[in-house]
Amino acid sequence: MDYGKLEVVMRRLALEAGEIIMGIYGEDDFSVEAKDDDSPVTKADKAADAHISAGLRAAFPDVLLVTEEQAATHGESAASFLIVDPLDGTKEFIKRRGDFTVNIAYVEDGIPVRGVVYAPAKDRLFYTRADGQSVEEADARLDAAGTVVTMSVSAPDTGALRVVASKSHRDQATDDYIGKYSVDDMKSAGSSLKFCLVATGEADLYPRLGRTMEWDTAAGHAVLAGAGGEVVRFDDHTPLRYGKADYANPFFIAYAPGIELQQA
């Protein structure tokens, strides 16, 4: 894979998809459909997916593309592949809460090595550069580079941890697990932004005790890894791997190194 080309293409497609999504977000009303699993989908999901998919297939025709909105791709597999969630946090989009993202990632031998997470309503763009280092770009535009800041996880204070959890999928099991730590600050966020908050040092720990798919997490995982963070399975604390047969994730924990992870 040409990582330099990948960085440019993923950044551009994420910004373009963000423009498409925000155009629909600004409409007075838009229809919401239910997919086979009863999760919601809007024309923003579909339009962003069509644009990103066309761009990736044109740029990398020989690389498998897996995308949430194209069920036919869910039965395909390869050692290395591109994986996309064109609008992660559709519920947040529908409720106009702003915590939704465009996720594009490249997985190599089971590991998300490059990714981009763009939150267009918050004007926050996170991505891995060609060298693997994660950055946040402020005021990013298609025709001009914004201010780029290198990202790095914090050195956590284990006696006063900052925890981030899901805004739409918080449950008692998650609260019980968080209760095993000494927590100083607790915040909620939607979509893959939770990975990015750990990557920027705004949070130390993100446990997820709920269903996710690889397209939900790969881009955020790559961004966090490029900032020095880690993502492990909840059950045995081994690294979270990608390219599973059904692209479904087990429960997991994303965190800044230095935290002694608690058992369930």
**Per the annotation, where are the binding residues for substrate?**
68, 87-90, 216
Q: Using the structure block, give the residue that is written with the tokens 């915590």.
A: 99
* Inter-residue contact 86 to 17 (CB < 8 Å): yes
In terms of Cβ atoms closer than 10 Å to its own Cβ (0-12, 13-18, 19+), residue 84 is buried
* Inter-residue contact 94 to 76 (CB < 8 Å): no
Q: State the CB neighbour count (10 A cutoff) for residue 83.
A: 27
* Inter-residue contact 24 to 43 (CB < 8 Å): yes
Q: Which residues are annotated as a binding site for Mg(2+)?
A: 68, 85, 87-88, 216
Cα–Cα distance for residue pair 122/169, rounded to 1 Å: 21
Q: Which residues are annotated as a binding site?
A: 68, 85, 87-90, 216
The CA–CA distances, whole Å, from 71 to 60, 67, 120, 146 equal 20, 8, 25, 35
